[in-house]
Structure 1
């Protein structure tokens, strides 16, 4: 069963991985303290399967990959999951929690997205060969084990996004069913009447009415039916289902928040979640989950956003749209919200090896004033051209020299297809490197063992500098109207294109949005 318009009536009926996204409720409501009683519920997966070639750790925001298993193993067999005992995942969501701990965004990745899957570890300890243009959800099934392969999915997401995944969580739909019951049901909206035949196209008939058009409260099996239905609504695709799933999670977050931090409500919810949860070793105890969850309790509903990676149909599959997706990943690396605001939490002194622009890397060095001009004061810096645009490094070098930097050399990077400009810095240069992001908006900043600073120019700089003014205050990459800290293409990443033409643009959903708004694609 594919999640695209080309095969609306074929394949197996499976629970989409959005059932696991209810974990976001616990991560964004401050309910983490209840985990102190729940150590025995938590399982961890083997981290030996994580790649040795990973992006650098973030200095400000954190990334949590939420994926799901819909196998029939255990108590899931009676809830309509996938066939057999092989762990499968239909959807995944990458939750980015910004450095200020006041904003978060969940980016859905459709299960049929064509991606490159890097080498993945099998249960016998051997590693697979890399694959190109494979279905994204197939990464979770590598090795065909009942528990699935979360490490392989994490490796795939890191390769796709260039973001380091700090934590990965897998939850099955048995736990989702129990969670919706624990909170007394969730308000959802259905754009039209839905029948049993819409849920199961193999029924051969319309069947009984499952949902009447309009707003209603669902829990347990009814909630499962709501999040997995896709036929008979819109174009019958997985894209439309993702939108309804995002609306469901938003509504569940609102429900828990409205009940307050009441142990009578939260303990059953956390118990249901942790019984069906598998996490990376970094979240493998109640106190670790407590620490992470409590750091998120002050995020306002309006500042919890849901979007889908920019996409387009590719026959029966989904392709990622560029450069829209690269602009989105760059904004997350730089800890910019999807409407272009700096959410690094300046002055927080967060440490770490690498991070997005302004990410507060290293030693709590003070953030540079975004309004102040960048002054090199003789700082040594090298520049490499990571694109095919002739003369790009020389152009940047000239602008840097005007600001007082000492350019030690220009060169051509080995990789000439870099989407995002990268600034690396050595000991004692973190503050200067972060200040450079005002000259190279959207650049990714990371620590390096070498001395000094180096800049490897990406296509973002090439695009911005081609339209920049020539005034001395413009700086490299500062196109007309660009604000400090705004990436080239920020308008696109503020509301990433749902797809390039002819697909429509998709707007972000907030957790406080009307549950009936923008539910169906097609």
Structure 2
């Protein structure tokens, strides 16, 4: 086509090469699962179709919406892509969910980490019921929200209170960055109607529920057994929650990941016929919003080329280690909290571009230490009045039990977590919430963990 994009002959040659080599993995997220299919199919669909599809993609200008308080990029060459399944109530999406929901909602939230060498990738799901700290965000009307703690998906609604997906994305990025310490490089969002159109264009996707599903909230009534779903049933299947399994968001995440695997496999089979694929591409691009750097088929094609060679055994799906918040707050049966120190280790590994051992992570996460069970004595080692009280307030907000506050014998530069040997696991949880702290065993201490606030203390994570 004379513009650097691959022609049909080149595409057929590449497709033949793919059939002759072992099957490779793709980044199978809401948009990532069909990313390579989307751009490869569009490249062979003709110039008019390419222009049409390229123009469908919405661009969100995020740079001026994000302030300077962002995590440092610790691994050159790696990429973190924040992917959101948008539960917007605007337009045709209005019939889903509660009638009183007027703001934009996020139904699925994940971070796709691409290693700098592009030899492995991790897709990290963030349960939308994660109870986290949400920073102050622009609401879209010039006003700012106050910092507070709530479900992580509320950040999308706060920023999108006026219907602007750029504002919604900015608040979500700030929330994810401040709670994980991971700097986001790109953003993608796909709404309900786009997902349904993708499935319909492929003639539906086969699913095999083990038990019947009856969920009025998801507009779903399904018999048990294998069946092909499309339209409202497909949408309901990936959205249903309370009527399947334990009713948790974690179960829904697992179903969504399996559904997207099946969708991506079926889409790859149809990529050889641009005419047949056009409806699929049109539905996807019309409902796709990205940051400005990814807003177009050409940059998406470049990204697809980077990830298409990742082997399946080096593509890891996992969920942030967590446990029911009810273990911390008995009256809260609706949320989960991230499990420390396991969550902090996971974030640190991805920040430094280190491949995650999923089996080891899961093994280490089997026996969480509830935060209220951790008794903390806080000492002020800064030489400035009030620092112990400030730290104690932060600790209580995270659920820790503060037993006392006081002054350290002398000023100290480094913030330190110390404990007797029998409280080592409790100390690990606390230390993981205090960036750059030093840990040590203190045989003189008894019954509690001691946090000595040093001159380097900048707050909890």
* TM-score class, shorter: 0.5 to 0.7
Within 5 A, what are the aligned runs for 1:103-114? 103-114=120-131
Higher helix share: 2
Over the residues paired in the alignment, what is the CA RMSD in angstroms? 3.1
Q: Distance in 2 between matches of 1:294 and 1:267?
A: 21
Within 5 A, what are the aligned runs for 1:285-300? 285-300=296-311
Compute the displacement of 1:67 (Å).
Answer: 1.1
Compute the displacement of 1:176 (Å).
Answer: 0.3
Tell me whether 1:23 sits opposite 2:31 in the alignment. Answer: yes
- TM-score for both structures, normalised by structure 1: 0.58
Q: Distance in 2 between matches of 1:159 and 1:32?
A: 35
Compute the displacement of 1:113 (Å).
Answer: 0.9
8 A Cα contact 2:344 2:432, kept in partner? no
1:34 corresponds in structure 2 to 42
Decide which of 170, 178, 186 is 1:151's aligned counterpart: 170
2:263 corresponds in structure 1 to 252
8 A Cα contact 1:22 1:252, kept in partner? no
Tell me whether 1:44 sits opposite 2:59 in the alignment. Answer: yes
1:224 corresponds in structure 2 to 235
Decide which of 188, 191, 194 is 1:169's aligned counterpart: 188
Q: Indicate how the Cα distance of structure 1 residues 280 and 129 shifts in structure 2: closer, same or farther if over 3 A, else same.
A: same
Decide which of 90, 101, 123 is 2:118's aligned counterpart: 101
Name the stretch that deviates more: 90-99 or 167-176.
Answer: 90-99
- Provide, for residues 43-84 of structure 1, a one-character-per-residue CA deviation record: whole Å limited to 9, x for no partner: 122412213111123413211111132233123235668654
Q: Indicate how the Cα distance of structure 1 residues 118 and 197 shifts in structure 2: closer, same or farther if over 3 A, else same.
A: closer
1:510 corresponds in structure 2 to none
8 A Cα contact 1:62 1:166, kept in partner? yes
Compute the displacement of 1:136 (Å).
Answer: 0.7
SS at structure 1 position matched to 2:153: helix
8 A Cα contact 2:60 2:292, kept in partner? yes
1:213 corresponds in structure 2 to 224
SS at structure 2 position matched to 1:331: helix
Q: Indicate how the Cα distance of structure 1 residues 458 and 273 shifts in structure 2: closer, same or farther if over 3 A, else same.
A: farther
Q: Distance in 1 between matches of 2:107 and 2:162?
A: 16
Compute the displacement of 1:298 (Å).
Answer: 1.6
Decide which of 135, 150, 155 is 1:139's aligned counterpart: 155
8 A Cα contact 1:122 1:142, kept in partner? yes
- Provide, for residues 317-361 of structure 1, a one-character-per-residue CA deviation record: whole Å limited to 9, x for no partner: 1111001101111121222222289xxxxxxxxxxxxxxxxxxxx
Task: Structure 1: give runs of 5+ residues left out of the alignment.
Answer: 1-19, 201-208, 342-383, 391-415, 422-456, 467-522
Compute the displacement of 1:254 (Å).
Answer: 2.4
8 A Cα contact 2:39 2:297, kept in partner? no
1:179 corresponds in structure 2 to 198
Compute the displacement of 1:419 (Å).
Answer: 5.8
8 A Cα contact 2:194 2:286, kept in partner? yes
- How many residues of Structure 1 are paired with residues of Structure 2 in the alignment? 333
- Provide, for residues 280-314 of structure 1, a one-character-per-residue CA deviation record: whole Å limited to 9, x for no partner: 12212332222222221222344333211111111
Within 5 A, what are the aligned runs for 1:428-439? none
Q: Distance in 2 between matches of 1:290 and 1:145?
A: 32
Within 5 A, what are the aligned runs for 1:424-503? 457-458=436-437, 462=439
Q: Indicate how the Cα distance of structure 1 residues 285 and 145 shifts in structure 2: closer, same or farther if over 3 A, else same.
A: same
Compute the displacement of 1:186 (Å).
Answer: 2.0
Within 5 A, what are the aligned runs for 1:331-410? 331-339=349-357, 385=414, 387-389=416-418
- TM-score for both structures, normalised by structure 2: 0.65
1:317 corresponds in structure 2 to 335
1:235 corresponds in structure 2 to 246
SS at structure 1 position matched to 2:30: helix
